[in-house]
Amino acid sequence: MSDFTSNFWSVFVAAISIIGILYCAFLLWFSAKVKVAASHDTEDGTTGHVWDEDLREMNNPLPRWWLWLFIITMVFAVVYGLAYPGLGSYAGKLGWTSTGQYDAEVAKANQELEPLYASFNAQTPEQLAGDPKAMAVGERLFMNNCAQCHGSDARGSKGFPNLTDGDWLHGGTSDKIKETITKGRIGQMPPMAAAVGSPDDIRNVSHYVLSLSGSPHDSVRASLGKPKFGACAACHGADGKGMQALGSANLTDKVWLHGWGEEAITAMINNGKVNQMPAQEGRLTESQIHVLTAYVWGFSNKPAAK
Amino acid sequence: MVSLYAAAKKIYPRSVEGIFAYWRWIFVFATQIVFYGLPWLEWGTRQAVLFDLASRRFYIFGLVLYPQDFIYLTGLLVVSALALFLFTAVAGRLWCGFACPQTVYSEIFLWIERKVEGDRSARIRLDDADFSLEKLVKKWYKHTIWIFFSIWTGFTFVGYFTPIRELAMEFFLTNMSSWELFWVFFYAFATYGNAGFMREQVCKYMCPYARFQSAMFDHDTLIVTYDTERGEPRGPRSKKVELATSNLGACVDCTLCVQVCPTGIDIRNGLQYECIGCGACADVCDTVMDKMGYARGLVRFSTQNAMTNKWSSREMWQRLMRPRIQIYTMILSAIVIGLLVSLSLRTPFKVDVVRDRSTLSRITEYGTLENVYRLQIMNAAEHLQTYRILVRGLPQLKITTETEVMVDPAQARWIVLRADIPYGSADPGSHKIQFEIQALGSDHFVVEKSVFIVPR
């Protein structure tokens, strides 16, 4: 009941419930006591009540066991009100909460899955990638937790890396993949316009970058841009192949995470980019991350023989 | 002066023999042999009729239904409702008197009661008697049989939802799951309570069908009727009295019609809302008429029009095919035929196409524009099935992932699928496309709509 700043509504709701039950009890007691004219008491065989000029009420008594149904519902209401959180903010004797039930169900499911995950944990991700059972679990985990950004086929999209191409910003060994999933990653490309030089220099560097991967480019601009690439080499390396320790991109392949072409590269040099992979630690268990590691590793590798 | 609540008076229906009682027993056997026997039938390697709620597959002989086939259940319910309309318009509460589970189980429980405690008068005597060893033994004996029968009923009911042979093993090893246990005993309790104790109270105070069936009666509906003109003035008489010369009607006022009535009414007071149309009174009256040497049918199925207009039974039956009945019959047969045709022409698989929403579209290094889809293929056949996936809707649109996939028997499988077009071959925006999924080795196919997105 944290939604309410005052206690009023809690008391209000509880009062309505309690008064409702008490009123039902009174009504029942009253209707069980009251006597009406029997059919043989009146001339026309009705209770003698007349409404709206000519509507007469027959006396068709309810069966007595019906009374018990009413009593049972009232007893149920009282027991429920005491046991469960039904009366305003009163938590109930059983201490039941919907989150508690959810947690209990999750704990139960985890307990049931423990032997399965234990057998997964006993294997390396490289072995696990060849285990169809583990991969079925991995697929479901991936679909529920990773596919939102990386796509159902794990091929990513603009800004979200393709996990199947064997090109890794932060390293593609199973250890590195696990680290990425567990701790997340922040990829940072600082705005480099000032360091590179004039807008024309930046265009030249863009063409030089395009030339590194053999993409269509202006070779005159590229050769003019080459000396200016020094500002980039600190992270991307003199050869432009990037450094996985820094998470800097390899500029010599045809993987363009943030867009291809002069325009996209110029924009990147001018504005930089911060790209984040959120940490899954705390959201997923270690065993789940282990299975996911194997699943992701398996996209670009052949599983090891057991 | 009386209370608003009246204690229910226990009804002791007397046993009865005759044409209607005979037909009721036919229905008791027909419905119960099906109910108790069906779950034991095997179909190939599985139970012939099984509603597997946990994995959401509904097996009915050769059919495997998915929750997506709910329309067939709707169809079945519509057919049931229309059949109720039709039968009720023709002959009143036929369903209530002959086939309703409440009637059928009450009949079975009454039969057990009769075998243990004797017929009506013996039962009344026994209930009125003071406590004795004999009474204790008889009551104990009766309730034991009732309870065993109820548990068997509950067990059978659960056997439709969980394989009954496994359930039987669990039952005897006493390791049923708590929900199985709950439903076996809950259903058993309901059977025991409704058929043993509640009986006609269910029809009188609880059943909604009983109430709205009255709205389907018309003046040509067959109802159990007492022929007042023939019967009155009623009165006891010696067998030697000649009916024609006496000033008495045919009713000998033996009250047997009241004694056999399962709802405890007197049919001679005319049609009453409690009457379930079982015809027990007609049966018993015929035996009395036979003994007296009078014509049968003092209490019989007749219509209000036939009674007031003194129609012959030929005239009465001629009114059977009145427009209302014709319309009911037409609608009912149309829906039954429609349901059967649709079931027989049913495609034994279903497909859902879900476009990846995170990845609107991507440009690949091969210069193509790619969209990602997930297809759920639900195999409703009980064999491994290969499906071929085709796509159309844009020029040069093609699938770049595998186009032939296998799905296990009665299983559903998610498939990730990529389709692409050459970059620039379509205008920016959303384009309607269709996936066609063919079941190889048959001529079944499903067409599902989706869209292909080209970025601006």
pLDDT, tens only, B216-262: 899 999 999 999 999 988 999 888 888 888 888 999 999 999 999 99
Spatial neighbors of B341 by CB under 8 A, at least 6 apart, are: none
Q: What is the pLDDT of residue A4?
A: 64
Q: Where are the alpha helices (DSSP H) in A199-258?
A: 199-212, 219-225, 230-236
pLDDT digits (tens, 9 = 90+) for B273-292: 899 999 999 999 999 999 99
Whether A158 sits inside 8 A of B1 (CB atoms) is no
B149-180 burial, b if ≥16 CB within 10 A, otherwise e? bbbebbbbbbbbbbbbeebeebbeeeebeeeb
Q: Are A237 and A245 in contact (CB under 8 A)?
A: no
pLDDT of residue A1: 47
Q: Is A149 within 8 Å of B416 when comparing Cβ atoms? A: no
Number of other CB atoms surrounding residue B20 within 10 Å: 22
Looking at residue A304, its pLDDT comes to 66
Give the residue numbers in A contacting B (CB under 8 Å), as ranges: 31-32, 34-38, 41, 59, 61-67, 143, 147-153, 155-158, 160, 254-255, 260
Q: Three-state DSSP class for A48?
A: strand
Instruction: Say if residue A54's pLDDT is above 90.
Output: no
- DSSP code, position B396: T
Q: Which residues of B317-346 are buried (b: 16+ CB within 10 A; e: fewer)?
A: eebeeeebbeebeeebeebbeebeeeeeee
pLDDT band at A24 (very low <50, low <70, confident <90, very high): very high
B5 touches chain A (CB under 8 A): yes
Query: Residues of CATH 1.10.760.10 domain(s) within chain A?
Result: 106-184+278-300, 188-277
Whether the predicted pLDDT of B304 surpasses 80: yes
| pLDDT number for residue A250 | 92
Chain A partners of B361 at a C-beta cutoff of 8 Å?
157
**Does pLDDT of A117 surpass 70?**
yes
CA distance B219 to B209: 20
Q: Which residues of B touch A141 (CB under 8 A)?
A: none
Band the pLDDT of A110: cuts 50, 70, 90: confident
What is this structure's pTM?
A: 0.83
CB pair distance less than 8 Å for A63 and B363: no
Interchain pair A66, B205: CB under 8 A: yes
Average pLDDT of B46-71?
92
For A106-184+278-300, which CATH class? mainly alpha
pLDDT tens column, B107-137: 999 999 999 999 999 999 999 999 999 999 9
| 3-state class percentages of chain A: helix first, strand second, coil last, to nearest 5 | 55, 10, 40
Per-residue confidence (pLDDT) for residue A306, from 0 to 100: 52
Query: What CATH code is assigned to B349-454?
Result: 2.60.40.10
**Domain at A188-277, CATH class:** mainly alpha
Is the predicted pLDDT of residue B437 greater than 90, yes or no? yes
- Cα A167 to Cα A175: distance, rounded to the nearest angstrom: 16
Whether the pLDDT of residue B104 is over 90: the answer is yes
The answer to whether residues A39 and A46 touch, using CB atoms and an 8 Å cutoff, is: yes
Tens of pLDDT, residues A142-160: 999 999 899 888 988 888 9
Mean pLDDT value across residues B407-414? 91
CA distance A270 to A190: 9
The DSSP letter of residue B393 is S
Is pLDDT above 50 for B155? yes
Please write the tens of the pLDDT for every residue from A212-268. Answer: 988 888 999 999 999 989 889 999 998 999 998 888 999 998 888 888 788 899 999
- Span(s) in chain B for CATH 2.60.40.10: 349-454
Which residues contact residue B168 at a Cβ distance below 8 angstroms, ignoring those fewer than 6 apart? Answer: B155
Give percent above pLDDT 90 in chain B.
77
B4 vs A contacts (CB less than 8 Å):
31-32, 34, 36, 61-62
Determine the Cα–Cα distance for residues A106 and A113; give it in Å rounded to an integer.
Answer: 10
Minimum-distance CB partner of A65 among B3, B8, B359 = B8
Q: What is the rounded average pLDDT of the residues A260-279? A: 91
Q: What is the C-alpha to C-alpha distance for residues B165 and B48, in angstroms, rounded to an integer?
A: 12
Collect all residues of chain A within an 8 Å Cβ-Cβ radius of residue B363: 260
Strand partners, B413: B377
Under 8 Å CB-to-CB from B366, ≥6 apart: which residues? none
- Cα torsion B200, B204, B208, B212 to 10°: value is 120
pLDDT band of residue A3 (cuts 50, 70, 90) is low
Asked which of A29-43, A258-272, B151-165 is least confident by mean pLDDT, the reply is A29-43
Confidence of residue A271 (pLDDT cuts 50, 70, 90): very high
Considering only CB atoms, B358 lies closest to which of A59, A67, A148, namely A148
B335-375 residue pLDDT tens: 999 999 999 988 999 999 999 877 778 887 777 899 999 99
